[in-house]
Structure 1
Amino acid sequence: MKPHCLHNTSLKVALSLLFFVLGIITYAQDSVPSRDIAPYFEKARKLRNENKIDLALEALDMASEEAEKNEDIKALIDSYHELAILYLKLEKEEDTQFYWDRGSVLLKDISYPYGDAIHKFIEAILLYRNNKNFQSLFMLNEAKQLNNDRNFFNNILLAEAQVYMNLEKYESATKNLNSLIVNTDIYEKEYLSTQAYLRLAELYLATKDFQESSKNAEYALKLAIDNGFMLEIKEANELLTVAYEELGQYDKSLQNSKNLLQIKDSLFTIEKLKVEVKTADKIRDDFKTEEIIRQENKIQELTESQNRSEVTAILASAFLIIISLLAVSLYRNNQIKLKTNDLLQTKNKELQIARDGAVQAMEAKTNFLSTVSHELRTPLYAVTGLTHLLLEENPEEHQKEHLKALKFSGDYLLNFINDILHINKIDANKLEPLHMEFNLKKVINEVMDSLQQSAKENKTKLLLDYDESIPSHLLSDPLKLSQVFMNLIGNAIKFTKDGEVKLIVKLLKKENEDVKIYFEVKDNGIGISKEKQLSIFEGFEQGSIQINREYGGTGLGLTIVKSLLGLFESKIELKSNLGEGSSFYFEIDMKSKDDLVDNLEFEITPQEYDFKGLHIMIVEDNKINQVITKKMLTKKEITSDIASNGEEAVTLAKENVYDAILMDIHMPGISGEEATIQIRQFDQQTPIIALTAISLDDSLESFYAAGCNDVVTKPFKPEIFYQKIGENIFDKKIKNLPS
């Protein structure tokens, strides 16, 4: 069997597996079926895992009957969804659509976010089957917004990877699948890992990397055998048969081929398939004819009642005449509706084409910004790094002035790129607020300390009015709040000279753990005119051309603030008079943790480290960046080795002992993430710091999932660079000392 043939076959198998996964996640959510329905759902899941589809269908049919008898709408919706998924496994898309439509009707009259999420998930699979890949990705994202369960998110990642593979976006697919290999799912950890290895094996087969394909297929086969995943055992043997044949290992290929024949004989007998199809058709036909039987019973009751009274007969005749007239009217109306529907369908197709175009345009825009950001950050790293090194080498006074101007320009350009990428990440729904414990006053003090120098340059006082009744421990996203404060206070300082900027923080309401906090950044600077207040939050907008020329900046700060607060479901307001100053204010809901002891200090003193004698590996494919990073380490008396790609990094890590590894992510060959995963298989201790120019498509979560301890973005400030190295080497050693 040739690779491209297997690729098509594997896609069909993978789709079936994907539908099977969806059946599993139904029970990993907060939607628990009622006590009467749950046994049927559990039985259906067990039978499905044993590949006894006919019996699983019967169990779900009984579940739907019980749900209808108990008038349990949510359980009935879940039953329809499960039936739709099983019909997909039988390659009966029309029947899948039939039960999906039944679910649509019920979901219109009930608020059921979980049901909506699964409904959109099934729709995404149907779109994918019809080769509408971008629409499928869009629908998967909508499903993700409706339910944040970790198991559901993992299955979304698996579905997205399958679509990416169909689009030949192998790098994006690989990133999703590597995250799933090291997943910590409490419901189906082994199943997700097995699926991830299978998809990677299929991906490497499509890209003709047969060695990697066979390795991942072997991992998948072992997991499948250990856990009794029969369909996965079959697919692993299919992949291994082809991979070993391409590698010239014909004995292994023959063995897997024999295994495959035995598995197919046990799973896919003709008699078994006949029973499954017969059961599926019977359940579908029974459902469709049930309504007809009810109507016939009603007609029979009316016929019997005619014999009871002539009056009843007359009334019945009159009723039938009225019904006939109504039927004629309905027929005419139906003809009008049919014509209207034809027109609507035409318009819908036009709208779908337009939506597909918009999705593709957004995809192209995202890919463009991702590429541009990486390409710009790499030379910027060289500019800022070389400038720092030259300033450290005691240049002459006339040279120092030029170097400082160069450093300022590099920093300005970097901030501009960061602002544009930040807004596009929010627009592309790639940012979500975190939910972590922090001390609000500590976060605010850190922001204000970092802006004190700018305030002194403008001879402006920086004041804080903080309500001490605010709980010391809160749950929210301190990083995004810091960005909001940094932009608002930095903006206020820029437009206020010889004045004052005050941050007011007040507790508005506290009920149990729910807290509402009021924030206001107030200044007595130049102010904003009434007409400009209407557009001040739009991108690249400043008060006027003259203000832009005098004060500089991109005009993106307030746009970022507005977008970030939107993630918290908060809205920023503005009060200002020209020449009298401005006031920006908003409210945010948070959670408090009153039961924790407050042991956090407000002052953070950057720690000095003695780096002398350290030995570090630099993983970097750019020659200029290699020189700059090595020189920066040498200045601190740190020795280093250089690996020009991921394969070389793995080899050096096996042969040497390093105090830390600085890992570039975007490299030819295997990426930094893949190299980190391989190193972690034999070395769990050495700190690995991702040193990379992050783009729109990069996910910090995937870096940490691969095994990175920390992330430093290029270009970086030297003090941050050294601080991260010290924290990950020395602070880690202190934590690991025996108590």
Structure 2
Amino acid sequence: MYQRSPFVLITAFALISFFGIAQNGVISKDSLEILHRQTFDYIHAQDYSSAIASSNYLIHVAEKQNDNLYTSLGYTRLGSTYLSMRDTVNSLQYYLKALEYAEKTEQDTFVSGVYNDIGNMIMETDGNLQKAIENFQKSLELNRKGGRNEKGLLANYINIAWTHIELKEPEKAFKYLDKVSKIIEKDSVHPLYPINTNILLGRYYLQKQDFKKSIELLSTEAKIAEDLGFLNEAITAQKHLSRAYEANGDLDAAITSLKKERELDERVQEKIRTQEVRETNARFKVDEYQRDVEIAKTKEAYADSLAEKSKERSTVFTILSCVLLVGLVIIFMLFKNRKNYLISLNNKNKELEIAKDKAELLSKSKTQFFSTISHELRTPLYGVIGLSSILMEDEKLGAHKDDLKSLKFSADYLLALINDVLTLNKADENGITLEKTNFSLGKLLKNITSSFAYRLEQNKNILNLHIAGNVPDKLIGDSVRLSQILMNLVGNAVKFNESGTIDVKIEVEKINKNGTYSLKFLVIDDGIGIPKEKQTSIFEEFTQVENRNYNYQGTGLGLPIVKKLLALHNSEVLLESEEGKGSTFSFIIDYELATANEKEADIEEIKTPLNAFENMRILIVDDNKINQKVTQKILETRHFKCTLADDGAQAIDRVKNNHYNLVLMDVHMPNVDGIEATIAIRKFNKNIPIIALTAVEVDEMRKKIMDSGMNDIILKPYDVSQFLTTILRHLSVKYMEV
């Protein structure tokens, strides 16, 4: 459990004392400015608890002195602090308070700065570009009104231009970019100004389809930004440079830029991971600090209340000895106080309701964030995993086979990490329900074993599979969750073991009266083992066993996920381990038997020969050009004939005017998405198989996808063999119907 720091308690009581000083005396402008700069330094040093304390003190003192400027600055610093901690709800709330006090100062350039902060905050979090540009325009107007010279308007011009580019309004953006270019030619400015300006010009020419100029500008600025250490700008340049190369038809250069973008992004992500640890610690400190301040205030209020009541008693006794009437007045006042207490209690209840609504809103925002990030991460992974799978099959690249294995392993590892984070989030939100489908235990274990081939080879480990003879193969249950549990346990055993042996054993614990089988699963390794004092904490999130002789990397999410998934099965994971002598993880899950008449859900073999599909035509609908090419190459190597469509509107037109045996339909596309396109196609073609391609969690979209008329779903990025099996399953049905 997190222990409350004595320093935080001292800080809390010290602030209460400061508040008392501010009430009795006047703080000079110089002192306010020092306090303001100190707050800025705390934010820069990522000491967020001190930044919040200092900001609140600045606001308190400035409000007492009716100093609107420093009150606004205090709220601005609070907005910056919470934005740094990624608490966007509180950040926006404090920025709006800052704007309220800034407008009272009637200082145009100062108010302009707050509007600019709000615009930037919206751009970073909300994504409402129209709202962002309204704030940037207000900032620009106020700066002009306040007499700022052209150089002082640079930030406004670039922000407005950037927003117009995001809105795909290149001509409006160019008007501001031209002004910025002229200012930069005349005056010396910070290097970020020309870098961002030229990146925006590169995007402008990309939208104007002048690909040569776009490539020239973006490639130059990508190198300059990287050389100067501006990695985020370099990533942005490489991202749009890849699109420019792709639009110009140079796919090799586009892929090279994408790789460079990934390389730079990994460097940034490494910094972000370190930053997130500091931010998490800061949040804990902020929460503790806020609680301690409330405790300190309560104690002070209680002490004041006691003193006040003592004073009241003395007065009452004095007055009662003189006049009985005063006693009646005191009784009246007590009733009045009781009424005030009731009003106060009612207000507190309302505040609690507001806090509850706010918490629910944050929960919805978190769910939306994970849904969006799932799509945004899985979409590029589709290209990486697909291309690496294709290249591994190319005999000409035999010399690079190990490199390609490493590439695919890294992409698969990243995909598994994304799935772990999403699973953990859904478990915390009670968003996981167990499915009941037929599956083959043998095939499931075979797939799990083969997926660890590369990691086993790296660590020189041996994986043995032991299935007792009385264990049934065909079962009914949630095979996906069982696979996740075993993948995490086996993955841990492989990672924390070198030149060792891992045994996976499955045996029948008992046969229940209702006919279900209680199967016991054991994952045994002879690796480093787990110390007794760590055997409880390893099931907590982000916790790993540390060993001075080894350097193991990971998130520490595997075992918490196992624990949560087993809880859904009304089961638990048991651990037996001794440091230096390996570990045994075991659990028991009940499964029903699948009868011979029930069709197995996860068909893996299609009896129809592949050459029967040589003349089959497939329409690939995807707005991502690279993903189009990956899918096309996978299918064409199997002799399918492929046609491409960039969005739902093109797909509708092609199906209406051509014959296709099957459609692969991306769900998320601009203009007309996959759902809308499928509904339109089903109005004139009821029979053509349509399979959804989506990078969003299937649980969130399954009903909507299937209700639209689609026949099946493939989650990107996919395993090539499962991808082909799904396609052949639907083609074979149509083939046998002919």
What's the TM-score, normalizing by structure 2? Answer: 0.48
Indicate the structure whose relative CO is greater, using CA pairs within 8 Å and at least 6 residues apart: 1
Compute the TM-score of the two structures, normalised by the length of structure 1.
0.48
